[in-house]
Amino acid sequence: MTVAICPGTFDPVTNGHLDVIERAASIFDTVIVSILVNSEKRTLFTTDERLEMLRMACGHLPNVSVDHFEGLLVDYVRARGAHVVVRGLRAVSDFEYELTMALMNRKLDPTVETMYIMASQEYSFLSSSIVKEVARLGGDIRCMVPAALADRIIARCKGEG
C-alpha cells in the first residue's frame, strides 16, 4: 500500500490545495494531508480550525485523512510508515523553494522521496496568502476556496469571525 503525505500550512485550504490533494488521492492508496504546527509562525486560523476546515474540504475523498505534525517532516513521514511526500507546483516561481526543501529532506532521510503534482492552470495564481489579502480587501474569493468554507474564511479575513 502506498501512503503519501501532503504537508503544508493550509492557512486556509484553497481550491488549489484541494486540486492537488484530489490528484494525489487518485494515484496513491492513502493520502495523509498534514498541517505543520509551528509556534513561530503566526496563522490566521488555529491548528484545530485548519484541521476542521481540511476535514470538511476532503470529506468526499475516502482515502484521504487529515492530521498535524510538529518538528521535522521526514521524522513524521517515517512515523506514519510512508516514503512519499507530495507537493503541488503552480509556477516556475515555486521551484526554488521546493527544490531546497526536497533536497534538504533527502539529505535528512534519503528514503523519503518528494513528488510534485502540477496544479491546474486555473489555480496557478492561487495561494492562501493572496486569498486572505483579497478577502480582507473585500474581493470575491468564492471561486477560490471550498464552497462550504467561504463564509467562514471571508469573515475571519475581515476580522468579523
Closest separation between CB of residue 9 and ligand PNS, Å?
Answer: 4
> Is 90 assigned a catalytic role?
yes
Site membership for ligand PNS, residue 88 (CB under 6 A): no
Point out the catalytic residue in the list 34, 50, 87, 128. Answer: 128
Site membership for ligand PNS, residue 43 (CB under 6 A): no
Kindly report the three-state secondary structure assignment for every residue of the chain: CCEEEEEECCCCCCHHHHHHHHHHHCCCCEEEEEEECCCCCCCCCCHHHHHHHHHHHCCCCCCEEEEEECCCHHHHHHHCCCCEEEEEECCHHHHHHHHHHHHHHHHHCCCCEEEEEECCHHHCCCCHHHHHHHHHCCCCCCCCCCHHHHHHHHHHHCCCC
Site membership for ligand PNS, residue 36 (CB under 6 A): yes
User: Per CB under 6 A, which region of 4-12, 58-66, 139-147, 149-157 contacts ligand PNS?
Assistant: 4-12
Point out the catalytic residue in the list 34, 50, 87, 90. Answer: 90
Q: Residue numbers of the site for ligand PNS (CB under 6 A)? A: 7-9, 36, 72-73, 101, 104-105
* Residues catalogued as catalytic: 17, 41, 90, 128
